[in-house]
Amino acid sequence: MEQNLERLAAEIEKYLNAESFIVYHCMSRMNESRQIVYWDHRRQPDPHRFLECAQQVGVRLMHLHERLFDAEQREMALEVLEEADFTREERRDMERRIQAMSKYEGKLCAVEMSFDFEGRIYMYAVETDWYADWESILDELEASGGEEDEGEDSYGGFYSNN
């Protein structure tokens, strides 16, 4: 998704406050053990529709997670690259791809809104296209034998079909 996620996040927070939602700023809920039902944001991109749905079922508590891309993520990937099983040329190409991501440091790369209803998590999740590219870099590193340490704030291999 190429849209400006900073603007989207600000719009979402404004709407949440205007509609008297209780906002719970949290870590990513992607790795929760309960079943997650994803909103189809490609067909229904307006986050207000998701929030209206929550209101219609009586939800007031909305979980909100905003993920920033930072230098530490790149540095960890470079450390993993050192242990990866790549040829010299593949290693140089991967290092170039990792370093190219520095232009996104400090930028919002993903936004998640979710609520609980009848034992399930309902989620609106969007990420930038460049963050999906980053996730593909991490997947390649992991497949090459490098060990990626996924922290509690990680999206892991998340690629939303939504």
- Please write the tens of the pLDDT for every residue from 64-80: 999 999 999 999 999 99
Task: For residue 106, give the 3-state DSSP assignment.
Answer: coil
- Residue 25, pLDDT above cutoff 60: yes
Mean of all residue pLDDT scores within the chain: 88
How would you class 34 by CB atoms within 10 Å of its CB: exposed for 0-12, middle for 13-18, buried for 19 or more? exposed
User: Which strands sit side by side in the sheet containing 61-68, from one edge to the other?
Assistant: 22-25, 61-68, 108-117, 120-127, 36-38
List the single range of 11-15, 30-34, 64-68, 122-126 with lowest mean pLDDT. Answer: 30-34
Contact 153, 67 (CB under 8 A): yes
Residue spans of the domains in the chain: they are 5-143
Phi and psi of 119, rounded to 5°?
A: 80, 0
CA distance 111 to 124: 8
CA distance 76 to 24: 29
pLDDT confidence band for 150 (50 / 70 / 90): very low
For 21-152, where are the alpha helices, taking DSSP H only? 47-56, 71-83, 88-100, 129-143
